């Protein structure tokens, strides 16, 4: 493997930081969602019945307290020998309500300190600008449906691009931009309970994010021509349920819709499929000529992706078993095993997905999320013997290497939730991805101390051998 390959670790502000009202931070959607409360999360996500208790606890308020522990955490991550640390800036730390004219200095200082700490170990930050944390103050505008939010986002981007001009090189505008289509409240602060035509509202919000992303790319390059400004997809190929052409067509359509926003970010225009889709579904998006020109000109420098599994799609879902998955549930694939949460495990699907994305877009790919969630059980010394996770990673990294041999250009690879964090979809702590165990339970009890799992030393070996030693 190329010696410049960027091995990394990944997490994000809203699931790790806590300090939800410290340093002048405003609220974001995540901060008002208690774990599994009011049936809201249950309705949106697939959480095992055993975990469907009602908690009156807001996990993001303290999360794993990265806000106060980042020095210790970055030191720990540096031990892995990683070159990049993917994290995010919480927009509401910089502009607490989203629409202020002046930024909050304390928020900027916090991230400056975090990035300086990374710098001490030669770790380059990869920074997501919006990872499920549009400030709640923008809800009154209708969230991302409203074009005013583009201007607020532009102000935020300009502020952080200028401040972190020399500390950050890789920027990702929106975490999994297709999330706004799956779960619009999380992806775009667009409330399905309030919108009369939710399909149109979602695509309008998505269009506005695409425009905002193009503007961010433009100003990012003006501020520092060395910046790499990328898009990001929650990836996973859609397999047809059977060779029946109706199922193959259904899977093709699901892929087209999954790729619809990335098509714009990378190719600079909506696909013919999507133009027809808008017409057929009476979706009338407000898109000016000026916006379309911006989209065409300021395309993404790279495509970041998360990968957890492939998806299975049929023309007719009746009598077919569903199972869990990222962004949305999927049909159960009898050829695949699944994790504790029903998310299916498909390393070959990773190779297929990487090949397909590269064929379609021909820009470098950056794997910024991959990992296995499990209900880890720690022993009396807080040690977790997570061979199942090692096995998952080994197979996925091997699949990635094969994709690279196939000719796919990949910049780097980061494990998700490298230190255990709060789960985004369920708000629980017991759904863990980390190589580092955090002593914290679903009700918020625990010291929040960190303990290396077995997979920590294993990944360190992978990183230091540049991917040679997988077993
Ligand atoms: C991705 C998100 O969708 O999936 C992460 O970018 C999230 O924020 C990850 O944590 C895994 O999902 P969950 O719900 O298991 O935390």
Ordered per-residue pLDDT tens for the chain, 471 residues: 899 999 999 999 999 999 999 999 999 877 877 654 444 444 444 445 554 455 567 788 899 999 999 999 999 999 999 999 999 999 999 999 999 999 999 999 999 999 999 999 999 999 999 999 999 999 899 999 999 999 999 999 999 999 999 999 999 999 999 999 988 888 999 988 788 999 999 999 999 999 999 999 999 999 999 999 999 999 999 999 999 999 999 999 999 999 999 999 999 999 999 999 999 999 999 999 999 999 999 999 999 999 999 999 999 999 999 988 887 789 999 999 999 889 999 999 999 999 999 999 999 999 999 999 999 999 999 999 999 999 999 999 999 999 999 999 999 999 999 999 999 887 789 999 999 999 999 888 999 999 999 999 999 999 999 999 998
- Distance between CA atoms of residues 400 and 393, nearest Å: 10
Distance 429 CA to ligand 1 centre (A): 12
Q: Which residue has a Cα nearest atom 4 of ligand 1?
A: 326
Indicate whether residue 186 lines ligand 1 (CB < 6 A): no
DSSP one-letter code for 267: I
Query: What is the tally of helices (H) and strands (E) in the chain?
Result: 16, 16
pLDDT (0 to 100) of residue 37 = 44
pLDDT (0 to 100) of residue 42 = 42
Mutational pocket test of ligand 1: of 369, 375, 428, the residue with most ligand atoms within 8 Å of the beta carbon? 369
Domain range 6-24+57-370+397-415, its CATH number among 3.40.50.300, 3.10.20.30, 1.50.10.10, 3.20.20.80: 3.20.20.80
pLDDT (0 to 100) of residue 186 = 85
| Residues 6 or more apart in contact with residue 220 via CB below 8 angstroms | 157, 161, 171, 227, 229
Distance 287 CA to ligand 1 centre (A): 30
φ, ψ of residue 410 to 5 degrees: the values are -120, 125
Contact criterion met (CB below 8 Å) for 212 and 149: yes
Q: Which residue has a Cα nearest atom 9 of ligand 1?
A: 424
Q: Which sequence spans correspond to the domains of the chain? A: 6-24+57-370+397-415
What distances in angstroms separate CA 26 from CA 138, 161, 228, one per listed residue? 11, 20, 28
pLDDT (0 to 100) of residue 34 = 61
Q: What angle do CA 283, 287, 291 make, to 5 degrees?
A: 150
pLDDT (0 to 100) of residue 54 = 52
pLDDT (0 to 100) of residue 180 = 93
pLDDT (0 to 100) of residue 443 = 84
DSSP bridge pairs for 374: 432
Indicate whether residue 326 lines ligand 1 (CB < 6 A): yes
pLDDT (0 to 100) of residue 50 = 53
Give the rounded distance of the alpha carbon of 185 from its chain centre: 15
DSSP bridge pairs for 238: 311
pTM of the model: 0.95
pLDDT (0 to 100) of residue 455 = 98
- Strand pairing category for 410-416 and 436-438: unpaired
Give me the catalytic one of 195, 200, 291, 369: 369
Establish whether 369 is a catalytic residue: yes
Residue with token string 């401040």: 163
Establish whether 176 is a catalytic residue: yes
- Distance between CA atoms of residues 53 and 41, nearest Å: 11
DSSP bridge pairs for 233: 305
């Amino acid at each position: 493997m190329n010696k410049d390959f960027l091995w990394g670790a990944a997490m994000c502000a809203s699931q790790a930081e806590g300090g939800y009202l410290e340093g002048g931070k405003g609220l974001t959607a995540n901060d008002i969602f208690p774990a599994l409360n009011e049936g809201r999360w249950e309705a949106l996500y697939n959480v095992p019945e055993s975990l469907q208790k009602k908690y009156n606890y807001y996990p993001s308020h303290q999360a794993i307290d990265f806000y106060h522990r980042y020095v210790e955490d970055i030191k720990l991550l540096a031990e892995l020998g990683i070159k990049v640390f993917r994290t995010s800036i919480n927009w509401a730390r910089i502009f607490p309500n989203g629409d202020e004219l002046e930024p909050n200095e304390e928020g900027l200082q916090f991230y400056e300190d975090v990035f300086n700490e990374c710098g001490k170990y030669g770790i380059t930050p990869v920074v997501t600008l919006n990872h499920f944390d549009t400030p709640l103050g923008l809800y009154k505008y209708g969230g991302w449906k409203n074009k005013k939010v583009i201007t607020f986002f532009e102000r935020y981007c300009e502020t952080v691009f200028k401040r972190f001009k020399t500390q950050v090189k890789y920027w990702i505008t929106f975490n999994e931009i297709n999330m706004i289509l799956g779960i619009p409240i999380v992806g775009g602060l667009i409330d399905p309970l309030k919108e009369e035509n939710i399909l149109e509202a979602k695509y309008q919000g998505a269009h506005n994010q695409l425009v905002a992303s193009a503007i961010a790319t433009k100003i990012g390059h003006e501020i520092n021509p060395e910046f790499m400004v990328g898009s990001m997809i929650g990836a996973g190929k859609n397999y047809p349920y059977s060779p029946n052409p109706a199922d193959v067509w259904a899977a093709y359509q699901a892929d087209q819709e999954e790729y619809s926003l990335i098509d714009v970010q990378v190719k600079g225009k909506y696909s013919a499929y999507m133009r027809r889709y808008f017409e057929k579904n009476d979706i009338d998006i407000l898109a000016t000529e000026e916006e379309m020109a911006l989209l065409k000109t300021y395309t993404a420098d790279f495509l970041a992706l998360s990968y957890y599994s492939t998806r299975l799609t049929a023309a007719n879902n009746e009598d077919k078993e569903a199972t869990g998955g990222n962004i949305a549930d999927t049909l159960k694939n009898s050829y695949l095993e699944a994790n504790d949460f029903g998310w299916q495990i498909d390393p070959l699907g990773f190779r297929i997905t990487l090949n397909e994305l590269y064929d379609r877009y021909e820009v470098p790919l950056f794997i910024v999320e991959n990992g296995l969630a499990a209900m880890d059980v720690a022993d009396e010394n807080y040690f977790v013997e997570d061979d199942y996770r090692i096995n998952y990673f080994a197979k996925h990294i091997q699949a990635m290497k094969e994709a690279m041999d196939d000719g796919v250009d990949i910049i780097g690879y980061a494990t998700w939730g490298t230190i255990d964090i709060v789960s985004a979809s369920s708000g629980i702590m017991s759904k863990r991805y980390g190589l580092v165990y955090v002593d914290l339970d679903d009700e918020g009890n625990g010291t929040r101390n960190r303990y290396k799992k077995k997979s920590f030393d294993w990944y360190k070996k992978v990183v230091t051998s540049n991917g040679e030693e997988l077993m």
